[in-house]
Chain A
Amino acid sequence: GESVGLHLPTLSVQEGDNSIINCAYSNSASDYFIWYKQESGKGPQFIIDIRSNMDKRQGQRVTVLLNKTVKHLSLQIAATQPGDSAVYFCAERGPMEYGNKLVFGAGTILRVKS
């Protein structure tokens, strides 16, 4: 079945450094991917998305890279700030027959040290 997993459950970075959060997905037919940020006591907040016909997309201080060959997704955060500390989830959407349902990974905790 579909599954999305994260390699590193916890990532600690120094303030000002760049962060890279990784995600592996299993369904090669997935065509849409999303990164969410979840702060303590809050719901997931949309960060950035990417469609399978792209391999890179940039936002403000964030970049998502998609490698379909190895079914890998990453989120890069530039100049990490204390406010970036949160749990980060990737999610994938399967092929048409699965409708618009998303499959979420377990999450990676990002801790920013000042």
Chain B
Amino acid sequence: NAGVTQTPKFRILKIGQSMTLQCTQDMNHNYMYWYRQDPGMGLKLIYYSVGAGITDKGEVPNGYNVSRSTTEDFPLRLELAAPSQTSVYFCASSYSARGRNNQPQHFGDGTRLSIL
């Protein structure tokens, strides 16, 4: 299994541009998450999904959108890139039975995004 795969690994955007960060997992996990990690800070939850067709906001959702059309894929969309969105973005997935998740989240290796 590849686990959680994120693309691209690096990207530089100009202010106002848009892009989609891709995330796919092959572990048949129902839960998926997007985090951002700023220097010297912990991970902040942007959006999450408990299953295909269901998404919900996390702690810092402004400026981002997500969709979950399949179990495997959970893309993160930036519509109008701003310098404050310069960060490292991590996608994660986990399995939960009956709503209460006692399984750890598995992470991808991140997308390093710079907005100039």
Using a CB–CB distance below 8 Å, which chain A residues touch chain B?
A: 4, 32, 34, 36, 41-46, 49, 51, 89, 91, 93, 96, 99-107
Cα of A106 to Cα of B80 in the assembled complex, Å:
28
Residue from A45, A46, A89, A99 within 8 A of B42 (CB atoms): A89
Give chain B nearest CB distance to A66 CB in angstroms. 15
CB interface residues, B 94-116, toward A, < 8 Å: 94, 96, 99-102, 104-110
- Tell me if A101 and B110 are in contact (CB < 8 A): no
- Tell me if B42 and A49 are in contact (CB < 8 A): no
**Is B61 in the interface zone, CB < 8 Å from A?**
no
Q: Which residues of B sit under 8 angstroms from A51, Cβ to Cβ?
A: 102
- Tell me if A42 and B109 are in contact (CB < 8 A): yes
| Residue in chain A with minimal CB distance to B103 | A49
Q: Which residues of A sit under 8 angstroms from B109, Cβ to Cβ?
A: 41-43
Q: Which residues of A sit under 8 angstroms from B96, Cβ to Cβ?
A: 100
Question: Beyond A100-B101, A104-B42, A104-B43: 6 further Cβ-contacts under 8 Å?
Answer: A43-B4, A43-B90, A43-B109, A45-B107, A46-B105, A101-B45
**Is B41 in the interface zone, CB < 8 Å from A?**
yes
Known contacts A100-B96, A101-B58: does B102 contact A32 (CB below 8 Å)?
yes
Cα of A51 to Cα of B104 in the assembled complex, Å:
11
Give chain A nearest CB distance to B95 CB in angstroms. 10
- Tell me if A44 and B100 are in contact (CB < 8 A): no
Which 3 residue pairs of A and B lie closest in terms of their CB atoms, listed nearest first?
A43-B107, A104-B42, A100-B101
Give chain A nearest CB distance to B26 CB in angstroms. 15
Q: Which residues of B sit under 8 angstroms from A41, Cβ to Cβ?
A: 109-110
CB interface residues, B 8-61, toward A, < 8 Å: 31, 35, 40-45, 48, 50, 58
Q: Which residues of B sit under 8 angstroms from A106, Cβ to Cβ?
A: 40-42
Q: Which residues of A sit under 8 angstroms from B45, Cβ to Cβ?
A: 101-102
Q: Which residues of B sit under 8 angstroms from A42, Cβ to Cβ?
A: 109-110
- Tell me if A96 and B100 are in contact (CB < 8 A): yes
Q: Could you list 8 A-B pairs, sorted by A, with CB under 8 Å?
A: A43-B92, A43-B108, A43-B110, A46-B104, A46-B106, A100-B94, A100-B101, A106-B41
Known contacts A100-B31, A105-B42: does B107 contact A44 (CB below 8 Å)?
yes
